[in-house]
């Protein structure tokens, strides 16, 4: 029994007490009233004609109905269970696999997870009133599980949802249970995730082969030598057992989709490059369609394109061959070389690169400064360090994306003070002093504390990438950060993050960064005092697309449907409903003078 942990004995005592109370109330008779009358002749005739047998029958009928109503209400309060009691006395732990592959549709239209939930409900119902069940999932949704009664176990089961990202894990909390004989452990899974399952765990298969075609790669870039044109690279995998004709559509903002058709063999991957004519900056979505596709999570992928334009850049330098060559490698740059004396007489540039020079006033366009002298609009210069090492750098920032400073050897460098103005410390030395800083305030600027001639940076493979990234960030065209689904970090302090649907995301703040949950594929926007970034979150994982990579035998839906409990109301609800109906019957019979 479920109410207050009543045992069957105490439940019987409660029912007997309720019955005794009802019978006792019916046996009570009110004290007779004494009335003085002139004669008893008339009353004696009335009593002589009254049929006492009918009166007794009405009394017994009324008692029976009232007793039945009271017992039904008592039974409803006790909440009797119609299931069988556990015969072995052991508790059961149910582990439900809710990894991404469990979202695959089965032949009956349900997902594998819905099949697993139905099987779990059957197991909980089979435990009976005395059963104790622990419900756990492989994605850690439920936290710390405990053994509970049937009602609470079903409530915990309803909290399990499908996960779109992350790697399933067999719960560590159940490994101790698996080693002993305290509990029976049942694991309901499709077998796609390679998990370390302890010995003694019963595995119930939710697997059924399904057709699935998904995107495993998607990238949009400009071809070398033509920065005003885009090309998309797409890879499509067929995880099914039959060849598929796949329709691919690539859509951009305000542009008609570019469509292609691709034939992909069973268990094979095909790739193609698609030219995107007349595409401009903004989000780009790639999607695939195929007959019978049973898994939708990998059918879409996103990219974000910065606005492409040719930028007029002025290199203000007394002479720097390595920096000039790095700038000329960028096909978007139209380079003009000026001396420091010529800077004041020329204007009309989209960006500046100052080499060992800085104007007294901040320029009207963004600027990259290499070992600048102190000016009032720049951070104060600290101590000069001899042979410093770059100890740390923000590799997640767009300026240092795919840039390594580990092997850069520096003869001398100045440091910048970051306490007087809001700047981003992109690189620091062993003492924590800032060696490369940036400002996201318009117009943006980046300053390096060491000159090209005072280091081997120009000889590093990362140097051209640093120059290209710096110009892209300065011109407010930072490339979008690409992240998998799940917890994402943005190198912006206390940023506001907006998801693909336009709603603000919940965030957590850590030093110099913001964390948020990228739970669905799409383009996210993060904005703070130090800048704005876009984050592209995609699945693009062949392991996720391989929804048939299971070693378990398929299991038909009819097997579980035949044993699954029907969605019938709880017994206590039925008892309470019958009691209400009897109360209505009692009211009707009373007014018809059929009962007392």
Q: Are 336 and 430 part of one and the same domain?
A: yes
Q: Which residue has the tokens 């991404």?
A: 100
Check whether residue 339 and residue 379 sit in a common domain.
yes
Residue 276's H or E segment, with its range, is: strand 268-276
Q: Name residues whose C-beta falls within 8 Å of residue 563's C-beta, 6 or more positions apart in sequence.
A: 122
Element (H, E) at 113: helix 112-126
Q: State the alpha helices, DSSP H only, in 462-524.
A: 462-474
Judge if 180 and 59 occupy the same domain.
no
**Is residue 276 a part of any domain in this protein?**
yes
Is 437 among the domain residues? yes
CATH code, domain carrying 433: 3.40.50.880
Do residues 458 and 465 make contact, with C-beta atoms less than 8 angstroms apart? no
CA 506/CA 497 separation, integer angstroms: 8
Decide which of 431, 449, 474 is a domain's last residue: 474
φ and ψ of 116, to 5 deg:
-65, -40
Report in angstroms the alpha-carbon separations of 253 from 228, 281, 285, 305: 16, 8, 9, 10
* Omega before residue 553 within 30° of 0, cis: no
Q: Examine residue 222 and state whether it is found in any structural domain, yes or no.
A: no
3-state secondary structure of 84: coil
Q: Give the residue among 503, 533, 530, 497 at the shortest CA–CA distance from 516.
A: 497
Please give the C-alpha separations between residue 265 and each of 209, 238, 271, 579, in angstroms, as whole numbers: 16, 7, 12, 64
If asked whether residues 316 and 465 sit together in one domain, one would say yes
Mean pLDDT by 10 residues, the chain (596 residues): 58 82 77 74 65 67 84 76 49 92 94 94 79 88 81 90 85 67 82 88 93 95 71 95 96 84 96 86 91 95 79 93 90 90 87 95 94 94 91 90 91 91 92 92 92 93 91 79 89 91 92 91 88 89 94 68 49 78 81 69
162 and 134 in a single domain? The answer is yes
Q: How many domains does the chain have?
A: 5
Quick one: 486 and 463 in the same domain? no
Of 346, 352, 348, which is closest to residue 314 (Cα–Cα)?
352
Contact 495, 526 (CB under 8 A): yes
pLDDT of res. 367: 96
Which H, E and C letters describe 294-357, residue by residue? CCCCCCEEEEEECCCCCEEEEEECCCCHHHHHHHHCCCCEEEEEECCCCHHHCCCCCEEEEECC
User: For residues 525 and 277, what is the distance between their CA atoms, to the nearest angstrom?
Assistant: 26
Are 473 and 424 within 8 A, CB to CB? no
Helical (H) or strand (E) element with 48 = helix 41-49
Domain stops at, among 277, 300, 323:
300
pTM of this prediction? 0.62
Provide the β-strand partners of residue 509.
Answer: 514
Whole-number pLDDT of residue 427: 95
Non-local CB neighbours of 251 within 8 Å, separated by 6+ positions: 257, 258, 284, 285, 287
The angle at the Cα of 121, spanning 117 to 126, to the nearest 5 degrees, equals: 150
Phi, psi of 458 (to 5 degrees): -65, -25
Within a domain: 454: yes
Same domain? 499 vs 464: no
Q: Based on the fold, state whether residues 119 and 195 are members of the same structural domain.
A: yes
pLDDT at 451: 95
Task: Say whether 495 sits in a helix, a strand or coil.
Answer: coil
Instruction: Mark whether 285 and 153 lie in a shared domain.
Output: no
Domain membership of residue 216 (yes or no) is no
Domain coverage including residue 15: 3-79+574-591
Statement to judge: residues 419 and 395 lie in one domain: yes
Tell me if 403 sits within 8 A of 466, measured CB to CB.
Answer: yes
Q: How many CA atoms lie within 13 A of 542 on its CB side?
A: 9
In this prediction, residue 9 carries a pLDDT of 76
Beta pairing partners, 527:
496, 532
Q: Is 53 helix (H, G, I), strand (E, B) or coil?
A: helix
Map residue 172 onto helix, strand or coil.
Answer: helix
Specify the pLDDT at position 428.
94
**Interacting residues of 147 by C-beta distance below 8 A, sequence separation 6+:** 91, 93, 132, 133, 134, 183
CB 284 within 8 A of CB 232: yes
Q: Is residue 221 in some structural domain?
A: no
Please indicate, yes or no, whether residues 327 and 469 belong to a single structural domain of this protein.
yes
292 lies in some domain: yes
- Residue 515 has a pLDDT of 95
In a domain? residue 223: no
The pLDDT value recorded for residue 178 is 53
- Do 350 and 418 lie in one domain? The reply is yes
- Domain boundary pick from 300, 325, 348: 300
């Amino acid at each position: 029994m479920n109410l207050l942990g009543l045992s069957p004995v105490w439940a019987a005592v409660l029912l007997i007490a309720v019955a005794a109370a009802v019978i006792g109330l019916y046996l009570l008779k009110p004290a007779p009233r004494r009335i003085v009358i002139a004669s008893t002749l008339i009353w004696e005739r009335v009593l002589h004609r009254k049929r006492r047998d009918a009166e007794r029958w009405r009394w017994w009928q009324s008692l029976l109905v009232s007793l039945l109503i009271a017992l039904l209400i008592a039974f409803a309060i006790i909440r009797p269970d119609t299931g069988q009691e556990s015969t072995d006395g052991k508790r059961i732990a149910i582990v439900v696999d809710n990894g991404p592959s469990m979202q695959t549709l089965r032949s009956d239209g349900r997902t594998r997870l819905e099949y697993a939930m139905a099987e779990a409900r059957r197991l909980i119902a089979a435990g009976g009133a005395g059963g104790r069940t622990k419900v756990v999932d492989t994605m850690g949704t439920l936290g710390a599980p405990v053994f509970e009664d049937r009602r609470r176990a079903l409530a915990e089961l309803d909290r399990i949802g499908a996960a779109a990202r992350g790697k399933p894990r067999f719960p560590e909390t159940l490994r101790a249970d698996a080693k002993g004989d305290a509990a029976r452990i049942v694991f309901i899974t499709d077998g796609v995730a390679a998990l370390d399952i302890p010995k003694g765990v019963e595995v119930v298969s939710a697997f059924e082969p399904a057709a699935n075609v998904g995107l495993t790669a998607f990238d949009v870039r400009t071809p070398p030598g033509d920065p005003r044109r885009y090309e998309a690279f797409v890879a499509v995998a067929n995880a099914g057992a039959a060849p598929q004709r796949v329709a691919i559509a690539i859509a951009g903002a305000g542009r008609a989709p570019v469509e292609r058709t691709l034939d992909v063999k069973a268990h094979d991957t095909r790739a193609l490059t698609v030219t995107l004519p007349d595409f401009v900056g903004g989000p780009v979505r790639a999607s695939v369609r195929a007959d019978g596709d049973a898994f939708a999570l990998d059918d879409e992928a996103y990219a974000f394109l910065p606005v492409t334009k040719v930028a007029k850049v002025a290199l203000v330098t007394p002479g720097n061959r390595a920096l000039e060559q790095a700038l000329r490698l960028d096909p978007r740059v139209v380079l003009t070389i000026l001396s420091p004396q010529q800077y004041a007489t020329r204007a009309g540039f989209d960006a500046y690169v100052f080499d060992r020079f800085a104007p007294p006033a901040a320029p009207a366009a963004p600027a990259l400064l290499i070992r600048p002298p102190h000016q009032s609009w720049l951070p104060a210069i600290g101590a000069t360090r001899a042979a410093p090492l770059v100890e740390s750098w923000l590799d997640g920032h767009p300026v240092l994306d795919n840039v390594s400073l580990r092997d850069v050897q520096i003869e001398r460098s100045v440091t910048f003070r970051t306490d007087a103005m809001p700047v981003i410390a992109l690189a620091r030395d062993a003492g924590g002093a800032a060696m490369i800083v940036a400002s996201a305030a318009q117009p943006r600027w980046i300053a390096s504390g060491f000159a090209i001639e005072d280091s081997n940076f120009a000889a590093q493979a990362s140097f051209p990438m640093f120059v290209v990234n710096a110009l892209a960030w300065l011109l407010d065209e930072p490339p979008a950060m690409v992240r998998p689904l799940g917890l994402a970090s943005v190198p912006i302090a206390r940023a506001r993050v907006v998801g693909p649907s336009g709603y603000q995301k919940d965030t957590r703040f850590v030093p110099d960064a913001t964390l948020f949950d990228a739970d669905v594929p799409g383009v996210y926007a993060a904005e703070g005092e130090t800048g704005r970034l876009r984050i592209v979150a995609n699945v693009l994982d062949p392991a996720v697309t391989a929804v048939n990579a299971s070693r378990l035998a398929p299991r038909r839906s009819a097997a579980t449907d035949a044993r699954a409990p029907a969605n019938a109301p709880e017994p206590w609800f039925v008892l309470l409903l019958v009691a209400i109906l009897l109360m209505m019957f009692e009211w009707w019979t009373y007014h018809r003078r059929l009962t007392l």
